[in-house]
């Protein structure tokens, strides 16, 4: 007898694979070493890659491990309070939810729980190992607890790490450091200035788009010119790209931001005037659902037949996810060529 429990669980995991809007800085990611990525997290959150099923399983396991550690603390008589407490810094537009606070005698100790595989767990023995890690997400951990301690009024904290393979654990003590906290507050302000400028440009461009009559070729061409000028201005407001392979490889925005020489290895530029014209019509006719759906179907059939997984066709980016079903995502490029 086959129960199909695995299939049912995996379908549930697939439903969890989402990209969520981000409108302010997040404490959990403000330590990411690329400033450009931190701006993208707010202005281009919709361009994040959808987590793979494997990555979603890792996220879920991290949440399970956090609950398990808190239960272990409780079983051992270690009291954890203020769990998932919201922390918000108004001026910096910075928010997050702390894992909890440990009662230690009369003192309260900030707590951040992280789980990792054995080969990484064995390399991490101090806060400095996280700060100097080759992985960008490791570099977020110390700033994260520093900012939680600041927001919660705590002098001491612990990053508690667990080997999710063996169950072993370590505690990394952290002392509140105002210099660290001030550095990341300043980083937030820099991000906010850039985000506000970019949003202002986008707002003006959207307003022009609303006024344009795309049934008229001149209006359409004028809008494309205005939009391309807006993209150039946005590029000026974005921080410089970094060129660190390990950081870029794991960045959720590498598809729109990788240095040109790296991008060329991962994309195909398809010169196809017929398909580019169809894509342009598809964009204009979205409100005419019947015609839109006909052209959308024709476009996607041609893209499927191309055999490519990532395409640049004129002003459009196309991503193809192939599995039991084929998903095709089409959008105008974030940066004008």
- 96: CATH: 3.90.320.10
Other C-beta atoms closer than 10 Å to the C-beta of 61 total 12
Q: What is the pLDDT of residues 68-81, one digit of tens each?
A: 999 999 999 999 99
Residue 173 and residue 280 in one domain: no
**Residues 44, 253 contacting (CB under 8 angstroms):** yes
Q: What is the pLDDT of residues 118-142, one digit of tens each?
A: 999 999 999 999 999 999 999 999 9
The owner of tokens 């729109």 is: 256
Q: pLDDT at residue 86 above 80?
A: yes
Please give the pLDDT value at position 324.
65
Residue where a domain stops, chosen among 163, 183, 203: 183
Residue 37 and residue 150 in one domain: yes
Average model confidence (pLDDT) across the chain: 87
Please give the pLDDT value at position 52.
87
Number of separate domains in the chain: 2
d(CA 305, CA 91): 51
Closest among 105, 170, 104, 102 to 141, alpha carbons compared: 170
What DSSP designation does 49 have?
Answer: P
Largest CA distance in the chain: 74
Residue 51 and residue 173 in one domain: yes
d(CA 100, CA 183): 24
d(CA 37, CA 194): 12
Domain that holds residue 316: 267-337
- pLDDT-based confidence at 298, cuts 50/70/90? confident
Residue 42 and residue 136 in one domain: yes
Please give the pLDDT value at position 77.
94
Residue where a domain stops, chosen among 162, 183, 204: 183
Residue where a domain stops, chosen among 183, 213, 242: 183
**This prediction's pTM:** 0.74
Decide if 337 is inside a domain: yes
Closest among 189, 317, 322 to 253, alpha carbons compared: 317
**Helices 178-211 and 35-43, axial angle in degrees (round to 10):** 40
Instruction: Choose the most confident range, by mean pLDDT, from 57-61, 85-89, 215-219, 280-284.
Output: 85-89
Residue 166 and residue 285 in one domain: no
**Residues 279, 299 contacting (CB under 8 angstroms):** yes
d(CA 222, CA 225): 5
């Amino acid at each position: 007898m086959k129960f199909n429990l695995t299939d049912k669980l995996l379908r549930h995991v697939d439903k969890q694979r989402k990209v969520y809007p981000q409108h302010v800085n997040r404490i959990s990611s403000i330590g990411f070493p690329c400033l450009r990525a931190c701006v993208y997290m707010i202005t281009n959150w919709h361009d994040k890659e959808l987590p793979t099923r494997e990555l979603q399983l890792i996220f879920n396991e991290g949440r399970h491990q956090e609950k398990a550690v808190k239960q272990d603390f409780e079983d051992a008589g270690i009291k954890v309070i203020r769990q998932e407490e919201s922390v918000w810094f108004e001026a910096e537009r910075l928010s997050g939810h702390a894992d909890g606070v440990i009662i230690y005698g009369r003192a309260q100790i900030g707590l951040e729980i992280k789980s990792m595989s054995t080969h990484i767990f064995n390399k991490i023995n101090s806060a400095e190992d996280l700060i100097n890690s080759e992985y960008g997400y490791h570099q977020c951990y110390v700033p994260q607890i520093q900012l939680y301690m600041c927001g919660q009024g705590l002098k001491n904290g612990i990053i508690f790490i667990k080997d999710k393979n063996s169950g072993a654990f370590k505690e990394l003590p952290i002392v509140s450091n105002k210099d660290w906290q001030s550095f990341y507050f300043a980083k937030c302000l820099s991000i906010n200035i850039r985000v506000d400028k970019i949003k202002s440009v986008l707002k003006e461009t959207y307003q022009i788009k609303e006024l344009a009559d795309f049934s008229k070729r001149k209006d359409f061409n004028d809008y494309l010119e205005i939009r391309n000028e807006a993209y150039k201005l946005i590029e000026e407001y974005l921080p410089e790209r970094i060129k660190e392979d390990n950081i870029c490889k794991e960045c959720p925005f590498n598809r729109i931001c990788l240095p040109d020489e790296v991008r060329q290895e991962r994309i195909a530029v398809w010169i196809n005037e017929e398909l580019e014209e169809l894509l342009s019509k598809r964009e204009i006719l979205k409100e005419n659902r019947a015609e839109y759906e006909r052209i959308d179907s024709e476009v996607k059939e041609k893209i499927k037949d191309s055999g490519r997984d990532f395409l640049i066709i004129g002003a459009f980016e196309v991503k193809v996810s192939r599995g039991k079903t084929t998903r095709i995502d089409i959008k105008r490029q974030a940066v004008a060529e």
